[in-house]
């Protein structure tokens, strides 16, 4: 074979081999591609047929969400249908934590958009937001003006998860008036939320904090509804789908007459005082006054720390609910009840006279009467009308502290009155057992002497005094004071008295307090167009030696408290009242008389 032919043969062999190699590579590549696309088809088939429900549900979860519809809170009215607590539509910001991309950036952006919102309030809110559940929306406790709402709407794209919404805000149109009875709502805190049903409070960020707002929370709150909405990736609502409407809370009507309430509050402006006015037959509270008060609207969105500290440090203590939490020595206001117990238990005849020289000498101690020269010869009627201390000093030694305790307990002293408010103080109705239990000490007769005139350990609230005088007006029928209208007792108890004439004997003595020439409140009852029964009292703030008390020159905070209880008209009582004025030259008796005149002449027929 020539050299040329040999070279051509080798070249053709190489070409054949290369083509075969290329073809094999093509087949291999096609096989790989076939395997890849086969696997891809299998996966696609799985996703389409096997995993459809799961992934469709996930897709819908990103697009469809369920929001709670907060219920409309029930309104509060006075006895004449005057609105005391209402709901006002406002613009607020709703925060959906699961949609917020960066909390710190949102904080900075909002500071720029809402310059009137204090940094303190915004910081406190964002601190709450950081620890809150990401599935429960929170509302910024700040009401946006129309200008602020428009400004936010223009920049909402910068704040995913934060939405401008219209919301109903609690408002109290009478501001301070009756605040200690009505109370207020405020933001739900973590402690409260942990005790609530999450489903019942979904979409709700306020709850009753004090007063009837708290006591009747279950009536006022209502039940939330549900709204299914379609949202975009930034959490903005595109459209509303199906919904279950919320159930609004119930409106409630109180026994308070706001006209009488405001009349008393104006009368006592600038004073530290408490007044309770009731209808003695029903127990309805017509006025519930604790002065000074405060504006409950401050608490609805969350009060600033600065303002709250101002209220706490105010020496007049406006936050104290004096009606149920003010505990005062009842002083001489308990003398009619002690007198009734004495004559009912045959300790003394109501007609027996004793001589009062102005003091009682007992075991080397002289117990002084408020009238230094004494009252002379006095019987039970005189002792009540003139408030003779010495008479009750002697009476107490014959009665003993336990009889006094057992006789006054049914009138409401020393225990809850059952008013429809939380956190009522019970005062102290002392006894031997009480002192042994609380102080681990023996009771002394000298303590009985001062307890009989409402001093010493004895403490009562203005509401307890109002209940006691209502029972006296009813001649023993026990009524429970209450604030909710149409909440009258179905069954009333009666204080058992062997001789019903004893009621009239004591009530006659209380009439003489105002209508006799020597009664302690005679100058206030002199020209009354109706008969009123009452009793004056003084509560000592601290002890002084004999003859040292000078009201004009003593420090105001150390002056005695002035008390009065009473009811009118005597034969068919329409009003019962208790008044306490702290550390003031203003006496409680004229306050009570003027309130009674105003009510009977201006308001009684309407009520």
Q: Please, which residues have CB within 8 angstroms of residue 407's CB and are 6 or more apart in sequence?
A: 337, 338, 340, 341, 344, 345
Q: Tell me if residue 533 falls in helix, strand or coil.
A: strand
Q: Which of 195, 465, 430 is nearest to 337 (CA)?
A: 465
CB 233 within 8 A of CB 157: no
Tokens encoding 541 = 């703030």
**Alpha carbon distances (Å) from 555 to 292, 315, 475, 551, 584:** 20, 14, 41, 8, 11
Angle between helices 335-344 and 401-408 (to 10 degrees): 110
The whole-angstrom separation of Cα 204 and Cα 225 is 11
Q: Tell me if residue 241 falls in helix, strand or coil.
A: strand
Q: Of the residues 332, 396, 431, 470, which is catalytic?
A: 332
Residue 332 is among the residues annotated as catalytic for this protein? yes
- The separation between CA 317 and the C-alpha centre of its own chain, rounded to angstroms, equals 16
- Number of H helices and E strands in the chain, helices first, is 23, 19
Tokens encoding 330 = 């009842």
Q: Tell me if residue 152 falls in helix, strand or coil.
A: helix
Tokens encoding 403 = 């009889």
The whole-angstrom separation of Cα 175 and Cα 141 is 19
List, as own/partner pairs, every contact residues 240-248 make where C-beta atoms lie below 8 angstroms and the sequence separation is at least 24, other chains included.
241/64, 243/69, 244/69, 245/69, 246/69, 246/70, 246/71, 246/72, 246/222, 247/71, 247/222, 247/223, 248/71, 248/72, 248/73, 248/74, 248/222
Would you please indicate which residues are annotated as catalytic (active-site) residues?
A: 332
């Amino acid at each position: 074979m020539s050299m040329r032919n040999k070279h051509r043969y080798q070249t053709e062999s190489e070409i054949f081999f290369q083509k075969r190699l290329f073809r094999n590579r093509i087949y291999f590549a096609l096989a790989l591609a076939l395997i890849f696309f086969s696997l891809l088809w299998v996966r696609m088939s799985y996703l389409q047929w096997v995993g459809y429900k799961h992934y469709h549900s996930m897709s819908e979860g990103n697009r469809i969400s369920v929001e709670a519809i907060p219920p409309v809170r029930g309104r509060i009215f006075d006895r004449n249908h005057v609105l005391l607590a209402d709901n006002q539509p406002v613009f607020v910001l709703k925060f959906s934590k699961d949609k917020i991309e960066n909390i710190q950036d949102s904080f900075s952006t909002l500071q720029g958009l809402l310059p009137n919102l204090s940094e303190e309030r915004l910081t406190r809110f964002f601190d709450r937001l950081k620890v809150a559940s990401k599935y429960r929306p929170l509302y910024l406790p700040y009401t946006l003006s129309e200008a602020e709402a428009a400004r936010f709407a223009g920049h909402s794209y910068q704040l995913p998860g934060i939405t401008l919404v219209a919301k109903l805000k609690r408002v109290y149109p009478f501001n301070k008036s009756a605040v200690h009875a009505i109370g207020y709502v405020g933001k739900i805190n973590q402690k409260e939320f942990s005790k609530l049903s999450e489903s019942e409070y979904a979409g709700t960020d306020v709850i009753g904090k004090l007063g009837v707002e708290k006591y009747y929370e279950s009536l006022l709150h209502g039940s939330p509804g549900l709204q299914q909405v379609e949202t975009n990736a930034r959490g903005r609502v595109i459209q509303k789908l199906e919904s279950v409407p919320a159930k609004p809370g119930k409106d409630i009507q109180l026994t308070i007459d706001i006209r009488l309430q405001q009349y008393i509050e104006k009368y006592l402006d600038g004073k530290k005082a408490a007044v309770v006015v009731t209808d003695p037959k029903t127990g309805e509270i017509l006025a519930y006054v604790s002065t000074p008060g405060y504006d409950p609207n401050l608490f609805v969105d969350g009060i600033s720390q600065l303002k709250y500290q101002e209220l706490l440090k105010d020496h007049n203590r406006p936050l104290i609910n004096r009606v149920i939490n003010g505990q005062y020595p009842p002083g001489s206001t308990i003398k009619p009840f002690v007198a009734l117990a004495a004559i009912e238990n045959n300790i003394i005849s109501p007609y027996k006279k004793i001589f009062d020289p102005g003091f009682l000498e007992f075991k080397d101690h002289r117990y002084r009467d408020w009238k230094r020269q004494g009252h002379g010869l006095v019987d039970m009627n005189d002792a009540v009308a003139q408030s003779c201390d010495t008479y009750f000093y002697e009476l107490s030694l014959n009665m003993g502290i336990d009889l006094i305790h057992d006789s006054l307990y049914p009138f409401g002293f020393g225990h809850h009155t059952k008013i429809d408010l939380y956190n009522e103080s019970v005062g102290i109705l002392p006894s031997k057992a009480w002192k042994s239990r609380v102080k681990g000490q023996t009771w002394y007769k000298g303590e009985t002497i001062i307890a009989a005139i409402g001093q010493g350990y004895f403490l009562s609230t203005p509401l307890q005094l109002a209940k006691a005088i209502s029972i006296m007006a009813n001649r023993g029928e026990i009524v429970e004071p209450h604030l909710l209208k149409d909440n009258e007792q179905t069954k009333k108890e009666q204080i058992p008295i062997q001789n019903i004439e004893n009621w009239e004997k004591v009530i006659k003595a209380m009439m003489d307090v105002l209508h006799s020439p020597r009664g302690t409140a005679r100058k206030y009852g002199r020209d009354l167009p109706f008969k009123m029964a009452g009793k004056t009292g003084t509560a000592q703030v601290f002890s002084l030696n004999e003859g040292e008390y000078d009201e004009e020159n003593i420090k105001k905070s150390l002056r005695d408290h002035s008390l009065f209880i009473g009811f009118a008209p005597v034969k068919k009582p329409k009003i019962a009242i208790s008044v306490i004025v702290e550390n003031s030259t203003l006496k409680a008796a004229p306050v009570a008389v003027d309130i009674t005149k105003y009510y009977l002449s201006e308001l009684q027929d309407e009520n």
